[in-house]
Amino acid sequence: MLTWEATGVGSHPGQDHLEAARVVFGEVPGLPYLPELPGRGVGADMIGRTAGLLIDLPVEVQPSGWRLTGRPGRDHQRAVDHLRRDLDGLEEVGHAYEGPLKVQVCGPWTLAGGLELRHGDKVLSDHGAVRDLTESLAQGVADHVAEVRRRLPGVTEVVLQLDEPGLPGALAGTVPTASGFGRLPAVEEWRVEESLRGFPSPIVHCCAPSVPYDVLRRAGVRGVSVDASLVRRRDEEAVGEAVEAGLLLLLGVVPGTDTRLPGAGVVAKPALELWRRLGFAAERLAEQVVLTPSCGLAGASPAYARAALAACRKAARVLSEDPEAGAAG
């Protein structure tokens, strides 16, 4: 029986890493996570934060963005320092915690589309470079997970989330070249499937339209994290096949920026209605569906970020308390 109920996508507003960790452990105790604070600037953004984990592939910031370089410099060190500070805060706030913990990193395809090679082309333009990047990232993630386990010995499982908002574009061939005047060729599905198998049972988060559910299912991922409002009727057959294969669905059901939040029943409604249309047994709903905000909370106010997580947790209880009524609509 899944006990996660609800969790967050990853990012939080502001620069106070200790307060963000307190909010996470307080509001989503079933599956807390290491919060990210991109508002701190260079090295705290999604690309830079993950690039700091790479093994033997240092990075630097150029006017065009993050680029691979020959040796670690100030930008690379800044990313490493941000993450070390976050881990210090995680250890301070969660030292007595026992249970699963989620960590998020940028997935290999979004990272390859956001990093440039030394000569300026995007890593995504070179299959060999993507392979090297993926292998480096997999080792860096393994080291990161080991560090989390060392710092929080009560953690029973480290749940890995790969953030892949750029994956649909990579598969569709819509990622712009470094110059911006062209588009990179579409990536073959088998390359994506092969790359994702190099990570231990990841959940893949994609808040963009056209989530490649079939590709992710064939890659053997543990679950898919999506914005529930972007699940179209044409997606539902692929979503149903993913659920039938045992994948978890992390459904984003509250906006990531400030708005007036409705009651728990209204928040839960998109998950209940989707499950009813898919036709699965009501008792499976709370076992395979976890509620989240629709995307990261970096653009929200601190008060709303806390309220959004609390709303997801309260709505998740609707899924488990009366699934027959919920599935009946």
pLDDT tens for residues 19-43? 999 999 999 999 999 999 999 999 9
The answer as to whether 3 is a domain residue is no
CB 253 within 8 A of CB 8: no
Place of tokens 């029986």: 1
Angle between helices 264-278 and 302-321 (to 10 degrees): 50
Task: Kindly tell me if the per-residue pLDDT of 278 is higher than 90.
Answer: yes
What domain count does the chain have? 1
The pLDDT of residue 322: 57
pLDDT tens for residues 176-190? 998 888 999 999 999
Amino acid at 84: R
Euclidean distance between CA atoms 250 and 242, whole angstroms: 12
The answer as to whether 294 is a domain residue is no
The answer as to whether 329 is a domain residue is no
The answer as to whether 325 is a domain residue is no
pLDDT tens for residues 99-153? 999 999 999 999 999 999 998 899 999 999 999 999 999 999 999 999 999 999 9
The pLDDT of residue 323: 52
SS3 content of the chain, % helix, strand, coil (to 5): 50, 15, 35
The pLDDT of residue 325: 45
Task: Kindly tell me if the per-residue pLDDT of 209 is higher than 70.
Answer: yes
Euclidean distance between CA atoms 187 and 122, whole angstroms: 13
The pLDDT of residue 179: 83
The answer as to whether 267 is a domain residue is no
The pLDDT of residue 327: 43
Q: What is the pTM of this model?
A: 0.95
The answer as to whether 107 is a domain residue is yes
The answer as to whether 242 is a domain residue is no
Task: Kindly tell me if the per-residue pLDDT of 328 is higher than 70.
Answer: no
Amino acid at 278: L
CB-hemisphere CA count at 13 Å for 64? 17
Residue 39 has a CB neighbour count (10 Å cut-off) of: 14
How many percent of the chain have pLDDT more than 70?
97
Amino acid at 184: L
User: What is the domain extent for residue 210?
Assistant: 41-221
The answer as to whether 31 is a domain residue is no
**Length of the chain, in residues:** 329
Tokens of 159: 């749940």
